[in-house]
Amino acid sequence: MSSDEGSGTKAERLQLVAARAATCTACDLAATRTQVVFGDGNPEAPLMLVGEAPGMHEDATGKPFVGRAGVLLDACLRENSISRKHIYITNLVRCRPFTTESGAARNRPPTQEEINACRPWLEQTIDIIQPLVILCLGAPAANVLIHKGFKMSQERGQWFEGRYARYVAATWHPAYILRLQGDAYEAARRELVADIAAARQKVI
C-alpha cells in the first residue's frame, strides 16, 4: 500500500513512510549515512520548509537543521513568533552527502542523481501533509518545487502557484547566509526573516 492510500492521521501516515525510508537504498548515500533524516515538526502545519540535505549534525541526530544553519533558521523563525511546532521541515535529500577528498569529511551539495532518487520521499511527504505554503531554503529545492533554472538572485521572495502547494516561494539557505559577512550577512538575514514573515501571512 502506498502512503497516500493509507488511513490514519497525517502523523501516523508519515511514520509509515519514514519507516520505509529508513531502509532506502535508492542511491549511494545509503552506504555512508548514519541514518535517514526524514523530517521534523508538525505534520498538520500549513507551512512546510524544504532545505537541501542533512549535514554532519543532522546525520548524527536524525533531525533536520540542528547545526549552525538550524540555529540561524530558528532565530529567524522566532523573530516571526514561529517555532518548530508551527511548521514541518524537511530536505530535498534525506541522507548526508559528503566528500573526504581533502581529508576530513566535508558536506557537499547533493548530485542530480541523489536528488532524483530521493524525490519520491519528498513527494510522499508533501502528499500527506498537503501544506498550503512551501518555503524553499536555497535554489536546489526551488529547482524541484518551483521551476528548473530558478535564479535566487532574481526570483527570491516571489510567490508561485505550485504543483506542490498553493503558494511556493524560495529564500536564502541559512548556510549561505552564514558564509556572508558584515552588511551582506545582515541584509540576507533580514531578507530571510522577511520571507518567513510573508509565508506566515499566507497561512493566517
* Length, in residues, of the chain: 204
Question: Which of 25-33, 66-74, 127-135, 145-153 is the region at the interface with ligand URA (rule: CB under 6 A)?
Answer: 66-74
**Main-chain dihedrals φ then ψ at residue 170, nearest 5 degrees:** -130, 150
Q: Tell me which amino acid residue 36 is.
A: V
Measuring CA to CA, which residue among 51, 23, 52 is closest to residue 36? 23
Distances from the Cα of 28 to the Cα of 8, 117, 124, angstroms: 32, 10, 21
> Which one of 38, 65, 150, 160 is in contact with ligand URA (CB under 6 A)?
65
Binding residue (CB under 6 A) for ligand URA from 13, 42, 52, 72: 52
Task: Give the separation between CA 202 and CA 42, rounded to whole angstroms.
Answer: 17
Site for ligand URA in 94-133 (CB under 6 A): none
Binding status of residue 50 toward ligand URA by CB under 6 A: no
Quick check: 87 binds ligand URA (CB under 6 A)? no
Residue nearest to ligand URA (CB): 51
Backbone angles phi, psi at 139, to 5 degrees: -65, -35
Q: Measured from the CB of residue 7, what is the shortest distance to ligand URA in angstroms? A: 30
Q: Which residue has the cell 549535514?
A: 55
Q: Tell which one of 91, 124, 125, 143 touches ligand URA (CB under 6 A).
A: 91
With respect to ligand URA, which residue has the nearer C-beta, 67 or 131? 67
Do 70 and 30 meet the contact criterion of CB atoms below 8 Å apart?
A: no
Candidate residues 17, 29, 53, 136; the one interacting with ligand URA per rule CB under 6 A: 53
